[in-house]
Structure 1
Amino acid sequence: MTTLLRSGVFLLLAILAGIPRQTVAGNVLAVYPHFGFSHSKVVMPILNELARRGHRVTVISYVKNLEGKTLPNYEELLISAAGEDQSSTTINLVPLTENTPTRSLGVLFREYLALHEEGQETCEHLFGSGHIETVLQRHQSKPYDLLLTEYFNSDCQLALAKLMNLPIIGLSTCALMPYYYDRIDLPDTPSFIQSEFVGFAGRLKWHERLLNFVQAKMLKYLYKYHSNPKDNEVIRRYLGLEMDVEEVARQQTAFIFGNQHYSLMGSRPQSLQFVEIGGVHITEKAEKELPEDITNFLNESEKGVIFISWGSMVRASSIDDEKLKAMLEVLQGLSLRIIWKWEEDEKVKTPKVDSSKFLFVKWAPQLALLCHPKIKLFWTHGGLLGTTESVHCGKPMLVTPIYGDQFLNAFSVQNRGMGLKLDYEEINVKNLKQAFKELSKNSYTKNSIQISKVFNQRRETPLDLAIWSVEHVIQHGLVASKLLQSPGIELNGFIYHSLDSILLILLSFTLLILLLSYFCCRKDKPKHLNKKSKTS
């Protein structure tokens, strides 16, 4: 009887041990005021999953989250205008005339200024919405546990973390901006680590290392001494408070989620606080969302299809006539059929081509298309979401970067043998024929499939990793932030790089050489000179 009872107890304990530990439901505040739809697409799965797991999620956002609004624990406070048609205000905004053919310091500086002005405009909309006061008031009766926000081009929202004494989890929807590295003591090492603003092929040459070094340091100081003071000014104007958002970020950031993975962006020295969640927006449901007309076109394509999409922000229909003519001429001569994302309206009609060869679609279920076996090649602008989806599906790419991080992404694809980079300015019949001939080689498909396997084989899904990190911070609060932080964030650059020690060693070495030189000179002085001096 005793043995039977003991066995029952052991069985009960084993069953209890197998039950997943339930995290106490948290009260999460998420602030994502940027207007870009692609930015919101990265964070929405995380917010929705938190709400599904029982956490209360309050979101201040510009872009509507249609799925989130159906969840009982999810509340959305919109910055955008009531009734705004976001299909025209957050999508297809950038004409191809804004392409940046080079990555010179002048171009990088102009891009920084554009991002800065955009970030300040975002701050004005955020603080002018009245939602800041709303959540501050709610915090008094039902405290928030955590601030989730985007680390992109402004930090004015970090005033909430300071006033509520909350840990912060930042999210970078693109490769991490160079001015955020120091917050988590993430090495930038310009000799081989390329930032969001640049892009080079393979190992950096000396002049590329020089440009990489200068832009990384220049942009870092511009953001610290130009953008952050403007953020502080916005806070002072709206809340009447003096604070340094850079200091708040350093002291209260627990994690930064990076929308990247080493299989595409490369291996690099890491920080415990930097968490790679590249592919977090990819879902099994999205892989199956193909409308009937696209499905029929794919099924009828015996040799396969090229999918052309230059993202949610870039207007592919703004391409100039000469380049469009060259593209159509070359594509018409290929054995593959074409599905092309094209924003047709009253002013911009679809090109007059053979409808059995081309299918133009105003909206395309990108992930489902890329994972379809009939898709053989993806012609993309190099946006990180589309590039990541193509890596996930194992498809070769032709990448035509237009601005920002797209150059870095394009070279990452080319460096790994998954595709080729073709600049917008280089689009002509000769270059296109050469590119498609090269991409027809089996090596590109083989490399894409192999890297796809590495990308998809992880210890846990990107979403599970993100949710664990959030729940860890909810449970442990600012203690989690403090324990994760490197002591290096408290040091100034002089001490951090041991310049004081190096200078002391150099000084000691110099003095030693001088002393040795002095005594050697005295010892080697001719004796007859000394005798002559005595007799005289």
Structure 2
Amino acid sequence: MRLLLLCFVIVKFVNCLKILTLLPYAGKSHFASYEPLLKELANRGHEVHVYSEFPQKKPLPRYKDFELDKAHQNATEILNMNDLPGKFITKYLTPILLTEFAEEICQKLNQNIVKDLLKTKEKYDLILIEYFNTDCFLGFAHVFKIPYIALSSCYPMPWHAGRFARIDNPAYVPGHFGNFAKHMSFSERLENTIVLGYCKLLYYLFCDIPGNRKAKAFFGDDLPPLEKIAENTSLMLVNNYFALNGAFPQVPSMIEVGGMNIGKPKRLPKNIEKWINESSEGVVYFSMGSMLIGHSFPIKKREMFQRAFSRLKHRVLWKWENDTMPGKPDNVMTQKWMPQFDILCHPNVKAFVAHGGLLGMTEAVHCGVPVVVMPQFGDQFTNARALEASGGGVILDFSTITEDNVYEALQKVLNPKFKKQAEELSARFKDRPMSPMDTAIYWIEYVARHKGAPHLKTAAVGMPFYQYLLLDVIAFLLVVFLSICLVSYYTLKMLLKCVYPAKVKKTKTN
């Protein structure tokens, strides 16, 4: 028995990884999508070193925080519902805004804690790094010469498909910042193509080129181009899942782990539980997430929602960051913070009004709660269209909402038939061979076991575009075809001269 226990301890020790995690982006919702994975890795015996702006409130075994200084400007200081122009900013201005965030990330290379990492004598087995709007920190993968895995908190960004040779054909793959479903009209396919090219061009000019310059200044002139380092990425864990986001072409090195943030519901605070339990008709939950402050609602639109909610027989839980709400109806309860997932999984919660953030969408889908979505920014429009196409929600245009269409949308999702659709979507979303968390950890350990798992990459990774698109083959075949045509033409002409020489000569004389 002692020998068996000793063997178990030895195996556990041998399989323990020291993992460096680089999460320099300042978005809290991004970190929230990775945090459960990092905690679970530590819980399973791996040593996890995390560089981010979001340290744990309480120390955890085998989890070590390295806190980055806060960015001078982040998304929570910019996104105000009073001045977001909706769809236009999503398609054309969001990529520009992301270049500004990229600048903030690259500046973090100059922080002392990052400089110390460059000089560290720590021996890591693996790097986890967020892929978002810049590759500045990717130089650490080159310096440490170890495998690295990309993390994406959302549907893959337009500039990430190429480094994994994932097909992003705009004929049927909606762009990250578009407002399109899988089945697009001609005009939508045209715009989707334009937006895709526009995003890739902006990234190259304002993220990739400056990022390479700053990375070389930090890591040294011998640093290869960041895009070349990125081509050696072992794996990408993507926070989406086909049952919700739609089925698109994938490659073995891109793994869908949507719902990885979802755990088990906890007991609700007594005041919230009492409010929900005592509602005979059920409860509607309303939250605009962590990046959009609820009290930044334009006054007229807030009053529209208040009047629409007052017409319901249901009670409403409204995440509202101020102490008071002028004109609050009696059937509405406000609170600065609410345990969203625990609320959504309560059986008496009948609908969710939200902004379309991916974490909230996956929580609602997991709990089988239909959603009224009012997308505001970034990937929220794409998330909303995917949810609507899957039967889990309806979309409202925040810029044109009225009291009546808010009330009508709520009535639609509160219908038992719609609830059944949401439950069917939930069943599809949860029906997997392994949980999202187990899937993510399996593939992380797989990459470590197989020394970076280069066999997961297709031969298309790093291939010149003219080869990938078969332009050289097409050109060769055209040359062959034209050559055959020319040879056939002149051969036929010569034969005609031999067979009908007199006729040919007479024709020339005439």
In the superposition, the TM-score normalised over structure 1's length comes to: 0.87
The aligned amino acid for 1:277 is V
Q: Would you say the 8 A contact 1:145–1:477 is kept in 2? A: no
The aligned amino acid for 2:53 is Y
Name the structure 2 match of 1:323. 301
Q: Supply the distance in 2 between the matched residues of 1:74 and 1:167 (Cα, whole angstroms).
A: 20
Q: Supply the distance in 2 between the matched residues of 1:95 and 1:168 (Cα, whole angstroms).
A: 36
Q: Secondary structure at the match of 2:382?
A: helix
Q: Supply the distance in 1 between the matched residues of 2:20 and 2:250 (Cα, whole angstroms).
A: 27
Name the structure 2 match of 1:157. 137
Q: Would you say the 8 A contact 1:382–1:401 is kept in 2? A: yes
Alpha carbons of structure 1 residues 49 and 440: separation in structure 2 relative to 1, 3 Å: closer
1:42 has 2:42 as partner? no
Q: Would you say the 8 A contact 1:63–1:80 is kept in 2? A: no
Within the candidate set 484, 496, 509, 2:481 is matched to 509
The aligned amino acid for 1:181 is A
Equivalent residues in 2 for 1:292-307, closer than 5 Å: 292-307=270-285
The aligned amino acid for 1:247 is K
Q: Supply the distance in 2 between the matched residues of 1:176 and 1:359 (Cα, whole angstroms).
A: 37
Equivalent residues in 2 for 1:511-530, closer than 5 Å: 511-516=483-488, 530=504
Name the structure 2 match of 1:192. 172
Q: Would you say the 8 A contact 1:391–1:452 is kept in 2? A: yes
Alpha carbons of structure 1 residues 514 and 440: separation in structure 2 relative to 1, 3 Å: farther
1:78 has 2:60 as partner? no
1:117 has 2:89 as partner? no
Alpha carbons of structure 1 residues 513 and 143: separation in structure 2 relative to 1, 3 Å: same
Equivalent residues in 2 for 1:86-485, closer than 5 Å: 94-103=79-88, 108-124=91-107, 126-138=108-120, 140=121, 142-201=122-181, 203-243=183-223, 244-251=225-232, 253-284=233-264, 287-345=265-323, 349-355=324-330, 357-478=331-452, 480=453, 482-485=454-457
The aligned amino acid for 1:296 is K
Within the candidate set 31, 35, 40, 2:22 is matched to 31
- Per-residue Cα deviation, 1:194-214 (whole angstroms, up to 9, x for no partner): 132112145111111112122
Alpha carbons of structure 1 residues 520 and 228: separation in structure 2 relative to 1, 3 Å: same
Q: Would you say the 8 A contact 1:190–1:216 is kept in 2? A: yes
Alpha carbons of structure 1 residues 418 and 241: separation in structure 2 relative to 1, 3 Å: same
Q: Secondary structure at the match of 2:66?
A: strand
> Offset at 1:436?
2.6
Alpha carbons of structure 1 residues 523 and 443: separation in structure 2 relative to 1, 3 Å: farther
Q: Would you say the 8 A contact 1:100–1:403 is kept in 2? A: no
> Offset at 1:379?
0.5
Q: Secondary structure at the match of 1:96?
A: coil
Alpha carbons of structure 1 residues 395 and 18: separation in structure 2 relative to 1, 3 Å: farther
| Stretch moving more, 466-475 or 382-391 | 466-475
| Stretch moving more, 29-38 or 424-433 | 424-433
Alpha carbons of structure 1 residues 187 and 18: separation in structure 2 relative to 1, 3 Å: farther
Name the structure 2 match of 1:9. none
> Offset at 1:136?
2.8
Q: Supply the distance in 1 between the matched residues of 2:163 and 2:304 (Cα, whole angstroms).
A: 47
> Offset at 1:343?
0.9
> Offset at 1:416?
1.4
- Per-residue Cα deviation, 1:245-268 (whole angstroms, up to 9, x for no partner): 1111112x1111101111100111
Name the structure 1 match of 2:45. 54
> Offset at 1:476?
3.1
Q: Would you say the 8 A contact 1:35–1:62 is kept in 2? A: yes
| Stretch moving more, 70-79 or 505-514 | 505-514
| Stretch moving more, 159-168 or 15-24 | 15-24
- Per-residue Cα deviation, 1:386-407 (whole angstroms, up to 9, x for no partner): 0000000011110000011000
Q: Supply the distance in 1 between the matched residues of 2:268 and 2:472 (Cα, whole angstroms).
A: 62
Q: Supply the distance in 2 between the matched residues of 1:232 and 1:129 (Cα, whole angstroms).
A: 18
Q: Supply the distance in 2 between the matched residues of 1:460 and 1:317 (Cα, whole angstroms).
A: 40
Segments of 5+ residues of structure 1 without an aligned counterpart are 1-11
Q: Secondary structure at the match of 2:318?
A: strand
Q: Give the aligned CA root-mean-square deviation in angstroms.
A: 2.8
Segments of 5+ residues of structure 2 without an aligned counterpart are none
1:499 has 2:471 as partner? yes
Q: Would you say the 8 A contact 2:173–2:248 is kept in 1? A: yes
Q: Supply the distance in 2 between the matched residues of 1:281 and 1:507 (Cα, whole angstroms).
A: 55
| Stretch moving more, 463-472 or 172-181 | 463-472
Q: Would you say the 8 A contact 1:201–1:414 is kept in 2? A: no
Q: Secondary structure at the match of 1:488?
A: coil
- Tell me the number of residue pairs that the alignment of Structure 1 and Structure 2 aligns: 504
| Stretch moving more, 386-395 or 318-327 | 318-327
- Per-residue Cα deviation, 1:404-434 (whole angstroms, up to 9, x for no partner): 1000011011111211111111211232233
Name the structure 2 match of 1:4. none
Alpha carbons of structure 1 residues 508 and 323: separation in structure 2 relative to 1, 3 Å: same
Q: Secondary structure at the match of 1:178?
A: coil
> Offset at 1:531?
5.5
The aligned amino acid for 1:77 is F
Q: Would you say the 8 A contact 1:58–1:76 is kept in 2? A: yes
Q: Supply the distance in 2 between the matched residues of 1:95 and 1:444 (Cα, whole angstroms).
A: 31
> Offset at 1:90?
7.9
Alpha carbons of structure 1 residues 130 and 241: separation in structure 2 relative to 1, 3 Å: farther
Q: Supply the distance in 2 between the matched residues of 1:113 and 1:531 (Cα, whole angstroms).
A: 71
**Would you identify which runs of 4 or more consecutive aligned residues in structure 1 move more than 4 Å?**
15-21, 88-93, 514-529, 533-536
Q: Would you say the 8 A contact 1:400–1:423 is kept in 2? A: yes
Q: Secondary structure at the match of 2:160?
A: helix
- Per-residue Cα deviation, 1:417-458 (whole angstroms, up to 9, x for no partner): 211111111211232233233324333211110110111121
Q: Supply the distance in 2 between the matched residues of 1:27 and 1:534 (Cα, whole angstroms).
A: 87
The aligned amino acid for 2:231 is R
Alpha carbons of structure 1 residues 245 and 430: separation in structure 2 relative to 1, 3 Å: same
Q: Would you say the 8 A contact 2:90–2:178 is kept in 1? A: no
Q: Secondary structure at the match of 1:438?
A: helix
Q: Secondary structure at the match of 1:369?
A: helix
Q: Supply the distance in 2 between the matched residues of 1:496 and 1:534 (Cα, whole angstroms).
A: 51
